[in-house]
Amino acid sequence: MELEQARKLWQPEPGWLNTATYGLPPDPVWTAMQQVLADWRTGRVSFEVWDESVGRSRAAFARLVGVDAADVSIGAAVSQLAAPIAASLPPGATVVVPEVEFTSILFPWLVQEERGVRVRTVPLDGLVDAIDAGTDLVAFSLVQSADGTVAPYDEIVAAARAHDALVVVDATQACGWLPFAADRADAVLVGAYKWLMAPRGAAFAYLAPALRERMRADAAGWYAGRDPSASFYGLPLRLADDARRFDISPSWLCYAGAAPVLELLTELDPVAVRDHDVALANRFLAGLGRPPGDSAIVTVEVPDAQEKLARAGVRAAVRAGRVRASFHLYTTEADVDRAIEALTD
């Protein structure tokens, strides 16, 4: 599908520049959600109908990031997906993380400190050099939530491989606009409600086979079974042989919305999506007299930004006087210009 054709599938109210907080659903998602809500309300279908969306979502996510669906686990949030990886670290292991990092990819390691796991934080621009022979795992966001900085993925992976360290990536703020090769890492964790524009409550993890061998499925339930439909009751333990053993029982309504948007994204040229989003971000920066960047998330400091944006009907994140604006498929040049006019008034 061509990008311009796909962009007609969204119905945003003008002024939404906050995909880094949550993405907006295209028409197929809205339609699917109305159907599943109606079915739930009336008891019209059995759960198997909703459950089909989980398999569709897993397969589409795998295609989107270039991995085998058998290596994808589904869940609800990045921290939950990271937990069994953190629990698999031996006492005395050292984890290196950027010092200003979103806590979903920081706290899972910190709670292991009572077992002797050591967490070392360093500036993001020093992360590559900080990976050494004493590093067992490096964890980072591919795109930083706070300011949109794109991490040097290839350099970090190369440094980690040189020292036999594991690589765990939170791609929540990247997947959906920034093309990358998930299988270069040992684990890639994605909350789907931002740039993938799914309902909150759907999340995915690429887990490399070698990493899975070190992990234990502490949250295993019926959905982690080799055959979930035959795993409702009783002994013996019969877990899936692939990444599904780390699945948690899915929130079906969320996945009913995730499947159509993930399938839509697989039909689009990922480079075209990136170019569209970054061009709008750079239009915004240019209008405020800032140099261009390489991210769909940008931050600028503007006095009285909250009030100025509110008066213009622009919705963006404002924290400590800094505007964080984010641009995606449904963003228009008119949205960008409205924000520029508001902030330069």
* 224-241: pLDDT as tens digits: 999 999 999 999 999 999
- Read off the pLDDT of each residue in 95-108 and give the average, rounded to a whole number: 97
Kindly list the strands in the beta sheet with 322-326, ordered across the sheet, starting from the edge strand earlier in the chain: 297-301, 322-326, 317-319
Instruction: Give start and end residues of each alpha helix (H) in the chain.
Output: 3-6, 27-42, 47-65, 78-87, 107-110, 127-130, 153-162, 209-212, 252-266, 270-287, 305-312, 333-344
Q: pLDDT for 185-195, tens place per residue?
A: 999 999 999 99
At the second CATH level, the architecture of 47-266 is 3-Layer(aba) Sandwich (3.40)
Other Cβ atoms closer than 10 A to 60: 23
Q: pLDDT for 10-30, tens place per residue?
A: 999 999 999 999 999 999 999
- Read off the pLDDT of each residue in 294-314 and give the average, rounded to a whole number: 96
pTM score, whole prediction: 0.97
Q: Do domains 3-24+270-344 and 47-266 have the same CATH topology?
A: no
Residue ranges per structural domain of the chain: 3-24+270-344, 47-266
Instruction: Yes or no: say if 73 and 204 are a contact pair by the CB < 8 Å rule.
Output: yes
- Read off the pLDDT of each residue in 69-80 and give the average, rounded to a whole number: 98
For the cut 80, the answer to whether the pLDDT of residue 163 exceeds it is yes
Instruction: Yes or no: say if 196 and 175 are a contact pair by the CB < 8 Å rule.
Output: yes
**What is the per-residue pLDDT for 115?**
96
**What is the per-residue pLDDT for 321?**
73
Q: pLDDT for 110-161, tens place per residue?
A: 999 999 999 999 999 999 999 999 999 999 999 999 999 999 999 999 999 9
Q: Which CATH superfamily is domain 3-24+270-344 in?
A: Aspartate Aminotransferase, domain 1 (3.90.1150.10)
Q: pLDDT for 319-337, tens place per residue?
A: 877 999 999 999 999 999 9
